[in-house]
Amino acid sequence: MHNFDFVKPSSIAEAVKALSNEGAQALSGGQTLTPTMKQRLAAPSVLVSLTGIAEMKGVCLGDDGLSIGAATPHAVVAAEAAKHYPALAALAGGIGDPAVRNRGTIGGSLANNDPAACYPAAVLGSGATVVTNKRKIAADDYFQGMFTTALEEGEIITGVTFPVPEKAAYVKFNQPASRFALTGVFVAKFKGGVRVAVTGASNNGVFRWSEGESALSSNFSGAAVAGLKVDAAEMIGDLHGTPEYRAHLVKVLTKRAVDAAR
């Protein structure tokens, strides 16, 4: 790791200002950035911690849904969202291990947009809104491919607001080594229809399985997707699974998520 300066602002405005410095980099839970720096693959000159900003922390049920501060660790979401949005809480409680869940944050996960991360599936599957210091971004506009988002330079995620569905579930199939999602499917049933978001599987990052959504919107049961076939063309193929295997898992996990939804 190279040397760097460290600042820990207590307001969003101060954080934005600190990030305008040359070579500054936002640090939330550090679950990706810190190992990258240790391997000397990243060398920011200033780290701007976002974990000392009170307004970016906490879980709160409001009129728009469940709002979660961007700097809220997974473990807090797992505990505090449980009574409002159990599927989301369960997803947060299944990320990594206790150490990861006590450090890693929802904002950090979304800003990084790892193609195998869990949170993007919940955000896209819920049709949540990503709130930044500048604007509100609909989930459908936010995710733009592997490690790519709608965020602009210096823009900070301050929170996420989740509409709470009637029923939802997230089912993750672990990559055996990292235990990230080899494929993970988040299914959410709203009054107006069903959303199905898939992480881990696609070369384009998290995506909505629209064919599955329409089948489930007319019949919310595992059987509804049994006859569908998921196209393997855009799926990831690596040591841990072929594109065909991941395509297959999308269907299996969707079915299981529907069965588990509550």
Partner 1 sequence: MPKDYGIGASSKRREDVRFLSGLGNYTDDVVIAGQTYAVFVRSTVAHGRIKSVGTATASAMPGVLAVFTGEDFKDVGGNPAGWLINSRDGTPMREPKRPVLAHGKVRHVGDAYAAVVAETLQQAKDAAQVIADETEIEELPAIVDMAQALADSSNRVHDEIPDNQCFDWGWIEDNRAATEAAFKSAPHVTTLELVNNRLVPNAMEPRASIGEYFPGTGDYKLTTTSQNPHLTRLLIAAFVMGIPENKLTVVAPDVGGGFGSKIYHYGEEALVLAAAKKIKRPVKWVAERSESFLSDAHGRDHVTKIELACDKQGNFLAFRTSTMANVGAYLSNFSTATPTFLHGTLMAGPYKVPHVYVNVKTVFTNTAPVDAYRGAGRPEATYSLERVIDKMCRELNLDPFEVRRKNFLTTDMFPYTTPVGLVYDTGNYQATLDKAMELGDVAGFEKRRVESAKRGKLRGMGLSTWIEACGIAPSNLVGILGSRVGLYDAATVRVNATGNISVMTGAHSHGQGHETVFAQVVAEQLGIPESSIEIVHGDTSKIPFGMGSYGSRSLAVCGTAMTKAVDKIIAKGKKIAAHMLEAAEGDITFADGKFSVAGTDKAKTFGEIAFSAYVPHNYPLETLEPGLEETAFYDPANFTYPAGAYLCEVEVDAETGKVEVCSFTCADDFGNVMNPMIVEGQVHGGVGQGIGQALLENTSYDENGQLLTGSYMDYAMPRADDVPFYTVDASCITPCTHNPLGVKGCGEAGAIGSPPAVVNAVIDALHRGGHTHVTHIDMPVSPSRVWSAMNA
Neighbours of 154 (CB within 10 A): 14
Which residues contribute to the site for partner 1 (CB under 8 A)? Answer: 2-3, 39-40, 173, 176-178, 182, 239-242, 244-245, 248-249, 252
Residues facing residue 32 across a β-bridge:
none
Residue 147 · residue 112 · CB < 8 Å: yes
Provide φ and ψ at 92, rounded to 5°: -60, -35
Complex with partner 1: residue 65 or 115, whichever CB lies closer: 115
Q: Is the dihedral of CA 223, 195, 89, 62 positive or negative?
A: negative
Least distance in Å: CB of 240 to partner 1? 6
| Nearest to partner 1 of 38, 134 (CB atom) | 38
Cβ distance to partner 1 smaller for residue 130 or 250: 250
DSSP string spanning 96-116? S-HHHHHH-BHHHHHHHT-TT
Which residues neighbour 173 within 8 Å (Cβ) at sequence distance 6 or greater? 181, 182, 183, 184, 200, 249, 253
C-beta closer to partner 1: residue 10 or 178: 178
